[in-house]
Structure 1
């Protein structure tokens, strides 16, 4: 990685390096957010299923 950075800096493409680093960071953040959103969706689905189970349990006692 050091050789790539050195070659980019020697050619004066610092803007391209900055853009690449920004895009990489943004992509990593997107992957993290999507993973967390998926986990939250699974937790919410489990919660709704448990509430439905409790509703069936209490309804059957009447």
Structure 2
């Protein structure tokens, strides 16, 4: 696996993790500061990769 493939795989995995967190947040019925923190951290990582994650938001 070359560096481009590794980078693509890392971005793809991060997007999948972000969408899972979004689904959890959408189903969550209470305030969850840890979940909110995780989502913000993943958004920063996606932004550093140059990924526009705004269309992935459920809530």
TM-score, with normalisation over the residues of structure 1? Answer: 0.44
Q: Which gives a bigger RCO, structure 1 or 2 (Cα 8 Å, sep 6+)?
A: 2
**1 or 2, which has the higher helix percentage?**
1
TM-score (norm 2): 0.46
Larger radius of gyration: 1
